[in-house]
Amino acid sequence: MNSMNSAVFPIIVPLFFAILLMFAPTQRVYQKIVATIGILSTLSMSVFVLQKVHTDGAQVVTFGSWQAPFGITMVADSISTLFVTAASLVTLFIIWYSFTAIDREREGNYYYAVVLLMLVGVNGAFTTGDLFNLFVFFEVFLMASYLLSVLGGTKQQLKESLKYMFINVFASALFVIGVAMLYAVVGTLNMADISVRVTQLEQPAIVTAISVVLFIVFAFKAALFPFFFWLPSAYSAPPIPIMALFGALLTKVGVYSILRTYTLLFPLDTTFTHTLLMILGIATMVVGCIGALASWNVVKIIIYNIFIAVGLLIYSISLFNEESFAGMLYYTVHDMLIKAALFLLVGLLVYVTGTQQLRQMGGILTRYPTFAWTFFIAILCIAGIPPFSGFIGKMLIVKGGFASGHIAGSIWVLFSSLIVLWSMIRIFIYAFWSKEGRFETVPKPTYVKMLVPTVTLVALCVAYGIFSSVVWPYVQDGAKLLMDPTLYSQFVLKGVK
Amino acid sequence: MNQNNVILNTLTYVVFFMIFLFSIHIFLAGHFAPGGGFVGGLLMASGLLLLYVTFDLETVRKMLPINYSILVAIGLLFALGTASIGLVAGDAFFTHYFNHFQLPLLGDSELHTAMLFDTGVYLVVVGVTMMIIESIGGDQ
């Protein structure tokens, strides 16, 4: 086995196991075993590629041994492999949690196969170096997410998945139109080649207009202001593990695409595009803050916290300096892990109390102390208290903001962390501290089986913060690459004039 | 239906095989002429649909006891397997190989691994189309 193909391994391994899972959908033991092996081998492949990218430089493979701009290129550089590894890691924990949290009916209807197929789409979207192939991988994970959001067929799921599909079909059509327009102007679909040609043309106004069309598409996927309206209801319909999968991965693909679009494809007209990014990023944070404080539904509070994180990431992209990019990469991985952890924790909270309403809960600290303190640590992580994982990313973003003179934006970032902390600590005070509230009688083994993956994931978040020096070199490589798009074109278009 | 559909039944026996052979022809022609796995698969599915229109669901299931979801999985395995030949052979993923062979009857023929990939596409298209038709048509 040669190593030139290593970029595609995190994509084809879950695909292979998803196909295997399709052969016996109703054999529950077979499903669980194959899904576990599948996700573990995907994760080890991702870590292998991450290591390889760090030691040997970016891994590029052009399908079918064609020359770079003519074939489909897959590019595993430090940015994409970092995201791929985080996505595989999160999926591992969600599959583990699903073993107990997903009912038999869903398990028997291709649940694990579709989860793996969604990972195929997400990993593919992170790795691809071709604009149309990015669209195809978007559709791969969107199809999987349609199925996951409707699987089980409750009334609310049917209602919300219909809206979710309408919005995404519209956004996908816009994506195709944007790609067609760009192809008409530059005549290529390979991202590295587009980057070179746009620089040669010195980015005429039409290209900036196309970049805004593509931005709207990705803003729909990432739920930026004013394209966020579908997300709160669409994400609250499916069961918790699916919600965690969506919340941790799907919006991040949109953020990643915006990052690529504005650092690689259209880097020249920054005064216009980056002001747009900054305004919308901050507006998204405001929406998230208002929603997180206004809601008394625990699931909705976490969902609105997604907005705050996405807004922060878009704001950090708009700053365009090495510090903010490093912060952005670090924070995205942190946010994938912690959002998944929070959804799993809230799932457990809803499981033991039997309600999503914060006002009806209470007194969990005395009954379930381990769970309560895990939740508390997760709150410290997401708010960005120094030893924990949210700190370094946010600090770098704020520092980058001050360095480029955006004082007000950075102060708002700090203020939004306060609101994140407030919204989360409110859950802690009402559900864990106050007087005895509602409780369901839950079987102890099931509770423990759901608690173990959750605690492990929170522990991983804590470790990610404390041992940040392990991840730091990869983040630094990525930030350097983002600052200089010619590096990317050079290693993709090796030997092509 | 209580009507006696002699004409439809008799025609179906003939026409089904014509559609089947034409779908195979379109499928094999794909490399040098319009056609290929997708159109071929759709044609095959339309032939099967003709059987469903003529007879009822149970009869056709008895005639062709195929589990279409497994057919889709097999098709996907074909496609992924063909694409992975490059991995084993030391080339880039999705590299295709071809050569000329002297076949009995056909003479000098060019055989290409892209056809194996197309076989996968063909099976997936037939499988997916029939799954959709069966699951919508099978509901009461």
The Cα–Cα gap between A110 and A476 comes to 40
A1/B87 touch (CB, cutoff 8 Å), yes or no: yes
How many contacts does A have with B, using Cβ atoms within 8 A?
A: 48
A22/B87 touch (CB, cutoff 8 Å), yes or no: no
The Cα–Cα gap between A173 and A310 comes to 23
The Cα–Cα gap between A433 and A364 comes to 7
Yes or no: say if A328 and A316 are a contact pair by the CB < 8 Å rule.
yes
Closest CB to A22: pick one of B73, B80, B88: B73
- Which pLDDT value is given to residue B121? 95
Quick one: which of A329, A489, A352 has its CA closest to A432? A352
Does ipTM top 0.90? yes
The Cα–Cα gap between A8 and A408 comes to 42
Q: Which positions ≥6 away from B64 have C-beta within 8 Å?
A: B48, B51
In the numeric block, which tokens belong to residue A17? 């196991």
Residue of B nearest to A20 (CA): B73
Q: Which residues pair with B102 in a beta bridge?
A: B108
B87: chain A residues, CB-CB within 8 Å: 1-2, 5
The CA distance from B19 to the nearest CA of chain A, in Å, is 29
Rg (CA), chain B: 18
Pairing mode of beta strands A73-76, A59-62: antiparallel
B93/A2 touch (CB, cutoff 8 Å), yes or no: no
Quick one: which of A139, A140, A147, A153 has its CA closest to A110? A147
Q: Which 3 state secondary structure label does DSSP give B67?
A: coil
Q: Which residues pair with B16 in a beta bridge?
A: none
The CA distance from B112 to the nearest CA of chain A, in Å, is 13
The CA distance from B77 to the nearest CA of chain A, in Å, is 7
A12/B95 touch (CB, cutoff 8 Å), yes or no: no
B86/A65 touch (CB, cutoff 8 Å), yes or no: yes
For B15, the enclosing helix (H) or strand (E) is: helix B6-29
- Which pLDDT value is given to residue A39? 96
Match 């899904």 to its residue by tokens. Answer: A35
In the numeric block, which tokens belong to residue A262? 């504005």
Q: What parts of chain A have a pLDDT lower than 70?
A: 1-3, 495-497
A19/B80 touch (CB, cutoff 8 Å), yes or no: yes
- Which pLDDT value is given to residue A363? 87
Q: Which positions ≥6 away from B77 have C-beta within 8 Å?
A: A19, B120
A61: chain B residues, CB-CB within 8 Å: 92-93
The single-letter DSSP state of residue B68 is: H
Yes or no: say if A439 and A365 are a contact pair by the CB < 8 Å rule.
no
Q: Which of A11, A13, A63, A116 to mutate to test the interface with B (most CBs of B within 10 A)?
A: A63
Pairing mode of beta strands A73-76, B107-112: unpaired
In the numeric block, which tokens belong to residue A34? 């194959």
Q: Which of B93, B98, B131 to mutate to test the interface with A (most CBs of A within 10 A)?
A: B93
In the numeric block, which tokens belong to residue A267? 């880097």
Give the DSSP letter string of B79-136. HHHHHTHHHHHTS-TT---EEEEEETTTEEEEEETHHHHHHHHHHHHHHHHHHHHHHH
Q: Is B79 on the interface with A (CB under 8 A)?
A: no
- Which pLDDT value is given to residue A495? 58
The single-letter DSSP state of residue B31 is: T
- Which pLDDT value is given to residue B139? 63
Residue A277: phi and psi, rounded to 5, are: -60, -45
B93/A8 touch (CB, cutoff 8 Å), yes or no: yes
- Which pLDDT value is given to residue A497? 46
The Cα–Cα gap between A110 and B73 comes to 12
Q: Which residues pair with A76 in a beta bridge?
A: A59
B93/A16 touch (CB, cutoff 8 Å), yes or no: no
The CA distance from B53 to the nearest CA of chain A, in Å, is 28
Residue type, A359: R
Q: Which positions ≥6 away from B122 have C-beta within 8 Å?
A: B27, B37, B38, B40, B41, B44, B75
Q: Is A22 on the interface with B (CB under 8 A)?
A: yes
- Which pLDDT value is given to residue B90? 84
Q: Is A8 on the interface with B (CB under 8 A)?
A: yes
Cα–chain-centroid distance for residue B16?
14
Residue type, A96: W
Yes or no: say if A273 and A281 are a contact pair by the CB < 8 Å rule.
no
Q: What parts of chain B have a pLDDT lower than 70?
A: 1-2, 139-140
The Cα–Cα gap between A57 and A88 comes to 21
The Cα–Cα gap between A255 and A281 comes to 11
Q: Is B132 on the interface with A (CB under 8 A)?
A: no
Residue of A nearest to B96 (CA): A64
The Cα–Cα gap between B46 and B48 comes to 5
Yes or no: say if A184 and A142 are a contact pair by the CB < 8 Å rule.
no
Compute how many other C-beta atoms are within 10 angstroms of the C-beta atom of residue A286: 17
CB proximity under 8 Å: A 45-84 to B: 61-65, 74
